[in-house]
Amino acid sequence: MCGRFSITLPNDAMAQLFAAQPGNDLPDVPNFNVCPTTQVHVVTSQDGVRRLGAMRWGFIPSWYKKPNDGPLLINARSETIAEKPAFRHACRERRCVMIASGFYEWTKDSEGTRYPWYITRQDGAPLIFAAIWQHWDAGDDALRTCACVTTGANAAMSAIHHRMPVILEPDQVGLWLGEQGKGAAPLMRAASEKTLQWHRVDRAVNSNRASGAELITPMIEPRE
């Protein structure tokens, strides 16, 4: 986790929510099936000024000669982020947040069939994922890329998956972005068990080509 999510909040609402200056390259919304390697909404902060922009979801280390030169790094584990060569400098110097309305996770039955779940905040607020970013440049190609920070799931979430994104509360964003000095490490933990809720959705979302609001519609379980 995290491997797929949705974003339905309008761009101007996102900019207002984070008191950020919006870029002119923001991805289209709504998008009910945001997939790795696509552009996602990211908030960064420099010299106290926040910016809402677009980045490729899939962190590219500086030593890659091309985007697919190694594994696709969409997530960074909180437990090792400070030591991993790909992430350690970004963890100290280039933190950002990714914005989502909800994210997907899958369970499997005894036959290996994958069943998707859609996960949102119980209070209906947008999800704020702790993330890191990297400017990757190789000649004519230049990309701003990011990865979501993940941690071990809390007890409730572990019924679906053993990992989950690091989810920030609004009053924690400034600390994560470095606006309040150092000391963001304690934020890299699982959210409270009362933070999230989830429901089953149709298996159509198993395809990264699927789209439409029906992807997040609760699936009615058949009665026995």
Judged against a pLDDT cut of 80, whether residue 221 lies above it is answered with no
Q: Is the peptide bond preceding residue 30 cis, with omega within 30 degrees of 0?
A: yes
Indicate the pLDDT class of residue 142, thresholds 50, 70 and 90.
confident
Summarize the confidence of residues 29-55 as an average pLDDT.
Answer: 97
Q: Which residues pair with 44 in a beta bridge?
A: 51
Indicate the pLDDT class of residue 207, thresholds 50, 70 and 90.
very high
The CATH class of 5-216 is: alpha beta
Residues 6+ apart with CB under 8 A from 60: 67, 73, 134, 136, 143, 145
Summarize the confidence of residues 158-185 as an average pLDDT.
Answer: 95
CB 29 within 8 A of CB 11: yes
Domain boundaries, the chain: 5-216
Cα gap 114→100, rounded to integer Å: 23
In terms of DSSP bridges, do strands 75-77 and 141-152 run parallel, antiparallel, or are they unpaired? parallel
Phi, psi of 157 (to 5 degrees): -70, -25
Q: How far from 107 is each of 36, 84, 113, 149, 213, CA to CA, in Å?
A: 20, 29, 8, 21, 21
Indicate the pLDDT class of residue 1, thresholds 50, 70 and 90.
low
Judged against a pLDDT cut of 60, whether residue 224 lies above it is answered with no
Taking only the tens place, the pLDDT of each residue in 105-123 is 999 998 989 999 999 999 9
